[in-house]
């Protein structure tokens, strides 16, 4: 953190308090309020953390006004075009693009950790077949701490490294198993001769009855979707992982907490909610009705896949995703996909509407991803599990960064209390 002589002066009841200001390498300055309560006896108030920096970080930076997303300084559109998911994983975890040898070693290591403990297969059989795959993933990932005792101690650097590799490697296997279980098909084991994205597709779509050859077009699209969802600063699920980790919880419990948070429709669950919304709209002539509902204060309906806490311009991931949607659907011969047509018309109508322009509501990463995933053969219930597979490296990178921060303390916010002040108990006969 770059120290600067700048300070902010807060005056309360005639008493002034100087608070240090720190300047980042990019983005807004921050005011250090850590000593405020001790000095002035007041809390700051920021439900939803709209103006609060919870930590310092060197991993990802978002410029919401420009619509820019950098991973260790590299723009997401360049990474999506020129890199691939496991190389981005290395970049997020270690801070630099790998040499050819480093990348080969990393990919070999991930490949050889993709199987899960055979005993864990029984976990899946305890769920109903119609359980949402996210419910299964929360349960199975949390249970990993019951199987991998040699990598549960977050204070041990070697154990942190092993847990990181196990989670990145096994998340696709767990997600694919959750899918297979939900459709009553046998689990498909990972294969060491396939790359990360191809392996995931093979585990999802192969059946014992016949050979399944991964389509390179689908594999490239899958890898790009993984790359686009890998990390995103201190979003809700990453902040959940950091908060869980601040108590010293083991890595599998922390990642399971992140999965649970990601599931919400305002966050990672938006890709499923968005596709369901596009199908509910059904045709371009119903778009005005839904735009009107999204603008109606008395209607809780929101355009899923639109808006973002940070982006007040296009989400750069949505731009790449939109190009990918066109390519994948053309290559799959579904270019006249009615849902894609509704999506494009809805985007144009919303962007032309003053309500969305004034509130700076643009398509986000979830607006187009569901269309691609559905065209690839995934049910909507698998959209958020795929997001979780990708975001595991982001959660892990941020988890490791926090554990390495000497300033780390247990996260324990305060509150603005508006409840009853102290009062005596009333016996039931007197109530």
Residues annotated as catalytic (active site), given as ranges = 308, 366
List, in order, residues 6 or more apart from 68 with CB less than 8 Å away.
61, 62, 75, 316
Answer yes or no whether residue 272 interacts with ligand SDX by CB under 6 A: no
Contact range with ligand SDX by CB under 6 A, out of 201-209, 216-224, 297-305, 329-337: 297-305
Bridge partner residues of 9 (DSSP): 18
Q: State which H helix or E strand residue 60 sits in.
A: strand 60-63
Answer yes or no whether residue 359 interacts with ligand SDX by CB under 6 A: yes
Q: Which of 244, 252, 241 is nearest to 153 (CA)?
A: 252
3-state helix, strand, coil in the chain (%, to 5): 55, 5, 40
Q: Is 363 left (phi over 0), alpha (psi -120 to 50) or beta?
A: beta
**Binders of ligand SDX among 166-225, rule CB under 6 A?**
none
Contact range with ligand SDX by CB under 6 A, out of 16-24, 135-143, 331-339, 364-372: 364-372
CA gap 306, 423 in Å, rounded: 47
Q: How far is the CB of 142 from ligand SDX (least distance, A)?
A: 21
Answer yes or no whether residue 392 interacts with ligand SDX by CB under 6 A: no
Q: How far is the CB of 422 from ligand SDX (least distance, A)?
A: 35
Q: Which residue, 114 or 234, is less far from ligand SDX as judged by CB? A: 234
Answer yes or no whether residue 306 interacts with ligand SDX by CB under 6 A: yes
Contact range with ligand SDX by CB under 6 A, out of 72-80, 110-118, 158-166, 308-316: 308-316
Answer yes or no whether residue 235 interacts with ligand SDX by CB under 6 A: yes
**Binders of ligand SDX among 107-166, rule CB under 6 A?**
none
Residues 92, 365, 386, 388: which binds ligand SDX (CB under 6 A)?
365
Residues 309, 327, 344, 408: which binds ligand SDX (CB under 6 A)?
309
Q: Which residue, 20 or 24, is less far from ligand SDX as judged by CB? A: 24
* Nearest residue (beta carbon) to ligand SDX: 307
Bridge-based pairing of strands 7-12 and 15-22 is antiparallel
Structure tokens at 350: 């919303």
Answer yes or no whether residue 347 interacts with ligand SDX by CB under 6 A: no
Q: Cβ(360)–Cβ(312) under 8 Å?
A: yes
Q: Which residue is associated with the tokens 């949505």?
A: 318
Q: How far is the CB of 2 from ligand SDX (least distance, A)?
A: 25
**Binders of ligand SDX among 7-66, rule CB under 6 A?**
48
Structure tokens at 150: 């040699």
Structure tokens at 231: 């990390």
Contact range with ligand SDX by CB under 6 A, out of 10-18, 196-204, 265-273, 327-335: 265-273
CA distances from residue 122 to 133, 187, 217 in whole angstroms, order as listed: 15, 12, 34
Residues 67, 139, 307, 370: which binds ligand SDX (CB under 6 A)?
307
Q: Cβ(273)–Cβ(304) under 8 Å?
A: yes
CA gap 249, 369 in Å, rounded: 32
Q: Which residue, 190 or 268, is less far from ligand SDX as judged by CB? A: 268
Contact range with ligand SDX by CB under 6 A, out of 51-59, 215-223, 335-343, 360-368: 360-368
Q: Which of 357, 354, 353, 380 is nearest to 369 (CA)?
A: 380
What is the crossing angle of helices 383-403 and 216-228, to 10°?
Answer: 40
Altogether, the residues listed in the chain come to a count of 431
Q: Which residue, 230 or 253, is less far from ligand SDX as judged by CB? A: 230
Q: Which residue, 165 or 308, is less far from ligand SDX as judged by CB? A: 308
Instruction: Return the sign of the alpha-carbon dihedral for residues 144, 235, 315, 358.
Output: positive
Residues 113, 267, 279, 344: which binds ligand SDX (CB under 6 A)?
267
Q: How many residues bind ligand SDX (CB under 6 A)?
A: 22
Q: Which residue, 48 or 333, is less far from ligand SDX as judged by CB? A: 48
Residues 138, 303, 318, 329: which binds ligand SDX (CB under 6 A)?
303
CA distances from residue 246 to 79, 167, 230, 237, 399 in whole angstroms, order as listed: 31, 19, 22, 14, 9
Task: Please give the residue ranges that form the binding site for ligand SDX (CB under 6 A).
Answer: 48, 232, 235, 266-268, 270, 294, 302-310, 359, 361, 364-366
């Amino acid at each position: 953190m770059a120290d600067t002589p700048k300070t902010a002066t807060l005056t309360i009841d005639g008493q002034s308090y100087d608070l240090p200001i720190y300047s980042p390498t990019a983005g807004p300055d921050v005011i250090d309020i850590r000593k405020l309560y001790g000095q002035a006896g007041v809390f700051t108030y920021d439900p939803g953390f709209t103006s609060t920096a919870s930590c310092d970080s060197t991993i990802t930076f978002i410029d919401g006004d420009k619509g820019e997303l950098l991973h260790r300084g590299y723009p997401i559109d360049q990474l999506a075009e020129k890199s691939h998911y496991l190389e981005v994983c290395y970049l997020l975890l270690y801070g630099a693009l790998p040499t050819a040898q480093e990348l080969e070693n990393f990919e070999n290591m991930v490949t050889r950790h993709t199987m899960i403990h055979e005993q864990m297969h029984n976990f899946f059989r305890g769920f109903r077949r119609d359980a949402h795959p996210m419910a299964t993933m929360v349960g199975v990932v949390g249970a990993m701490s019951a199987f991998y005792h040699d990598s549960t101690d977050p204070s041990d650097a070697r154990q942190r490294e092993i847990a990181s590799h196990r989670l990145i490697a096994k998340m696709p296997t767990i997600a694919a198993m959750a899918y297979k279980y939900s459709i009553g098909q046998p689990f498909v084991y990972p294969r060491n001769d396939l790359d990360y994205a191809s392996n995931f597709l093979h585990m999802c779509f192969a059946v014992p009855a016949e050979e399944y050859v991964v389509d390179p077009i689908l594999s490239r699209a899958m890898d790009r979707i993984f790359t686009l969802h890998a990390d995103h600063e201190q979003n809700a699920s990453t902040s959940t992982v950091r908060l869980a980790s601040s108590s010293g919880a083991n890595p599998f419990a922390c990642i399971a907490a992140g999965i649970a948070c990601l599931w919400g429709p305002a966050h990672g669950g938006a890709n499923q909610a968005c596709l369901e919304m596009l199908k509910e709209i059904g045709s371009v002539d119903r778009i005005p009705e839904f735009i009107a509902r999204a603008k109606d204060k008395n209607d809780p309906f929101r355009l899923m896949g639109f808006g973002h806490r940070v982006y007040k311009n296009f989400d750069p991931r949505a731009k790449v995703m939109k190009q990918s949607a066109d390519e994948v659907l053309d290559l799959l011969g579904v270019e006249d996909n009615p849902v894609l047509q509704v999506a494009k018309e809805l985007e144009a109508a919303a962007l032309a509407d003053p309500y969305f322009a004034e509130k700076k509501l643009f398509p986000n990463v979830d607006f187009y991803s569901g269309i691609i995933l559905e065209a690839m053969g995934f049910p909507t219930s698998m959209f958020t599990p795929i997001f979780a597979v990708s975001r595991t490296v982001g959660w892990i990178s941020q988890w490791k960064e926090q554990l390495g921060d000497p300033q780390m303390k247990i996260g324990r916010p305060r509150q603005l209390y508006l409840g009853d002040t102290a009062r005596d108990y009333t016996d039931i006969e007197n109530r």
